[in-house]
Homo-oligomer: A and B are copies of this chain.
Amino acid sequence: MGARLDVILSPTEALPPCEVWLVVDVLRATTTMTVFFECGGKKMLPVESVEEGLALKKSLGSGWLLMGERKGLPPQGFDLGNSPLEAANACVSRYEGAIMTTTNGTRALLAAASTGAPVLIASARNAFAAVDAALSSGSSIGILCAGRLGRVSLDDSACAGALVDIALEKEPKILFSDGARIAHSVWHSYGKNMEEALKDASHAHFLLGLGFGDDIRLACQLGVSASVPKLAFISGRWTVLL
- Choose among B12, B178, B202 the residue that contacts A177 (Cβ–Cβ < 8 A): B202
A190 within 8 A of B: yes
Is A33 part of the contact surface with B, judged by Cβ < 8 Å? no
Q: Is A150's beta carbon under 8 Å from chain B?
A: yes
Interface size class of A (residues with CB under 8 A): 20 to 34
Binds B, one of A52-60, A117-125, A180-188: A180-188
Residues of B within 8 A of A178 (CB): 148, 151-155, 157, 200-203
Closest to A10 in B: B10
Q: How many copies does the complex hold?
A: 2
Give the complex CA separation of A200 and B12 in angstroms: 24
Are A190 and B200 neighbours in the complex by a CB distance under 8 Å?
Answer: no
Chain B residues, CB < 8 A from A75: none
User: Residues of B contacting A169 with CB < 8 Å?
Assistant: none
The complex places the Cα of A9 from the Cα of B8 at a distance, in Å, of 11
The answer to whether the Cβ of A189 comes within 8 Å of any Cβ in the partner chain is yes
The answer on a CB contact under 8 Å between A157 and B177 is no
Cβ of A178 to closest chain B Cβ, rounded Å: 4
A9 CA to B201 CA in the complex, in Å? 16
Q: Does A234 contact B (CB under 8 A)?
A: no
Whether, in the assembled complex, A40 has its beta carbon less than 8 Å from a beta carbon of chain B, the answer is no
Residue of B nearest to A9 (CB): B152
Across the interface, which residues of B come within 8 angstroms of A176, CB to CB? Answer: 200
Instruction: State whether the Cβ of A179 lies closer than 8 Å to any Cβ in chain B.
Output: yes
In the complex, which residues of chain B have a beta carbon less than 8 angstroms from the beta carbon of A182? Answer: 9, 152, 154, 157, 182, 186
Among residues of B, the one whose C-beta sits closest to the C-beta of A152 is: B9
Partner of A185, one of B8, B14, B179, B186: B186
A-B pairs, 8 with minimum CB distance: A10-B10, A185-B189, A154-B178, A12-B12, A185-B186, A9-B152, A185-B185, A12-B13
What residues make up the interface of A, taking CB atoms closer than 8 Å to B?
8-10, 12-14, 148, 150-155, 157, 176-179, 181-182, 184-186, 188-190, 200-203
Given contact pairs A9-B10, A152-B152, a sample of 17 additional A-B residue pairs in the complex whose CB atoms are under 8 Å apart: A10-B152, A12-B12, A13-B150, A13-B151, A13-B152, A14-B150, A148-B178, A151-B178, A151-B179, A153-B178, A154-B182, A157-B178, A176-B200, A178-B200, A181-B186, A182-B182, A185-B185
CB-defined A-B contacts under 8 Å, sample of 6: A10-B10, A13-B150, A151-B178, A153-B178, A181-B186, A189-B189
